[in-house]
Amino acid sequence: MCLAIPARVVERLQADDAIIDAGGVEKRVSLALVPEAAVGDYVIVHAGYAISRLDPEEALRTLALFAEMQREMPGVPA
Amino acid sequence: MKYVDEYRDAALARVIAEKIARAARAERQYKLMEFCGGHTHAISRYGITDLLPANVNMIHGPGCPVCVLPIGRIDSAIELATQHPVTLCTYADTLRVPGSNHLSLMKAKARGADVRMVYSVADALRLAQENPSRDTVFFAIGFETTTPSTALAIRAAEGLQLANFSVFCNHVLTPPAMAEILGSPHAREFDTVPIDGIVGPGHVSCVIGSRPYEFVSEKYRRPVVIAGFEPLDVMQSVLMLVNQLNEGRHEVENEYARAVTRGGNAKAQELIADVFELRRSFEWRGLGEIPYSAHKLKPKYERFDAEARYGIAYRQAPDNKACECGAILRGTKKPRECKVFGTVCTPENPLGSCMVSSEGACAAHYAYGRFREIAENTR
C-alpha cells in the first residue's frame, strides 16, 4: 500500500494528469497533489497519484554524505 | 533507475554497516522499530538484518494498512458487496484478507458479488461515471498516503454531482498509532515490547511532513528518523538512531530529505482537512481501539459516505485463534513464532492479514527471510 516509486514526468496532459516513466514503464497518473511538478521532474507515485516532488539537491546531499563515509573508511571490503 | 540504483550500492551498504558496528556500544541493546510495512519489506528483501550487529535489532511495526484493518471492517465490506446492489471497488490486497465465516471479498466475488480491483480511486470514480444507473462504492483503506486521493475523488464526485458514488472510509492515522506503540496507558493492556527508537514512515511523511512526530519524540523521549525505502536509506537511518541513542538525544531527524519536508504536502493536507474529520475511536487489529486514530467523512459530504448511505454498523469480530497477527503487529512476536506460519498460512492461502500484503511482516518473511533460516539450520 505505501510502496511508492520515484518516476519522471514525461508529459503533462489535460486537467492534472500526466504521463510518467517509472524505470521504463510509462503510466498515466494524477499530479493533482503536486501541481508544481514539471516535465523532467521526478515525483513519488503512489496508487495513481504523485504525492511528492523529489528535491534533486537534497538527493545529492544524501549521496555526498554516503561518499564521504566511504572515503573515511577505505578499508571496508566491497 | 534514477533515485533508486544509487541508493542500492552494496559497497556503500557495507561502509554504513561498519559505521553502525563501530557506533553500537557492546554493553547495550538497540531495539528499533521500523513502523512502516514498506521498510519491513525492504529489510527482508535486502537482508539488512544480516548487516547489523547482534545488539541492533529491528522490530516490525504496524504500518501496513491491510494488516491493521480489523476483521469487522472486512465483514462490513463483504456485507456491502453481497447485501446491497452495488459495485464494490477495492485495492488489490484487501481482496484476499480473510473475514469471518471463511469469507473474503475474493470469495464473495466468486459467489457472484460485483467486486472490482482498482489501481486508484480515480478508476472507481470513472466506473461510477460510466454506469450512472448502478451504485459504485470505493472501499477506502490506507494511511495518510492514500487519504488525499480519496478526498480528491469525493470533491470530484461533488463537482460532477455524481449520485451513485460513495466511499467506505477506513483511512487511519500514523502518529496516534506510533504513540500507542510507545506506551500510552491503553497499550499496557496488551503485552508490549520496549522500543528505543523508530525508523519513521517515508511516504506517509511526504504528505504529513516530519512535524507530527515531534510530539511523539518529545512525549515518549524516543528518537524518530524518517527514512526512504532503499536499502542505503534504511541503513543510514539505523546509524542515525544509534548515534542519537548514544548521545542521549530523542529528536525527529529526516534521512529522506529528497522527498519529505517538515511541513509536508500542504495541498494534500488542505484536502484531507476539508473532506474528513477524526473518528472518536477506531479499532486496529492487534492494537485495539485507539482514540482519534482514523478519519470519517464530514457531515457536509455525508451523501458520499457509504456507512450512512447503506446503514453499515460496525461489529467487532474475533481473529482466527491460531493467527498471531495481533502480537506481530505490536512487535512482540516474530512471524516464525506463529504456529501456522508457512504451513496453514501462506501468501497463496493467508489465514491472517500479515500474510496478505507484500508489506505484511509475515509475507515479507515468507518471501525472503525464511531461506535465511533454512541456511542457518543446515549449517
CATH number of the domain within which A18 lies: 2.30.30.140
> Could you tell me if residue A34 is inside a domain?
yes
Which of B37, B146, B206 has its CB closest to that of A47? B146
CATH number at B1-320 = 3.40.50.11740
Query: What per-residue confidence (pLDDT) applies to A12?
Result: 97
Q: Residue A66, Cα to own-chain centre: how many angstroms?
A: 19
| Any B CB within 8 A of A27 CB | no
ipTM (interface predicted TM): 0.94
Distance between CA atoms of A15 and A17, rounded to whole angstroms?
Answer: 6
Pairwise CB contact (< 8 Å): A3 & B41:
yes
* CB of B14 closer than 8 Å to CB of A76: yes
At B327-351, the pLDDT tens digits run 898 888 899 999 999 999 999 889 9
A57 is in which domain, residue-wise? 5-72
Rounded average pLDDT over A31-43: 97
* Contact across the interface for B359 and A54, Cβ inside 8 Å: no
Inter-chain residue contact A76 with B259, CB threshold 8 Å: no
Task: Tell me if A77 is assigned to some domain.
Answer: no
Would the pLDDT of B373 be above 80?
no
Instruction: Delimit the domains of chain B by residue range.
Output: 1-320, 325-377
Give B77's contacts (C-beta < 8 A, 6+ positions apart). Answer: B88, B90, B94, B99, B105, B139, B168
A22, A33, A58 member nearest B148 (Cβ):
A33
Q: How many contacts does A have with B, using Cβ atoms within 8 A?
A: 146
Q: Give burial (CB, 10 Å; 0-12/13-18/19+) of B7.
A: buried
Between B10-23 and A56-72, two packed helices, what is the crossing angle to 10 degrees?
70
Q: Is A23 a member of any domain?
A: yes
CB A50 within 8 A of CB A43: yes
Give chain A positions within 8 Å (CB) of B204.
2
- Cβ contacts of B1 on chain A, cutoff 8 Å: 6, 22-23
Number of domains making up chain A: 1
Residue A55 lies in a domain: yes
| Range list of β-strands (E), A1-78 | 5-12, 17-22, 25-30, 42-46, 49-53
Q: Which of B201-210, B235-244, B297-306, B363-372 comes out lowest in average pLDDT? A: B363-372
Other Cβ atoms less than 10 A from the Cβ of A76: the count is 16
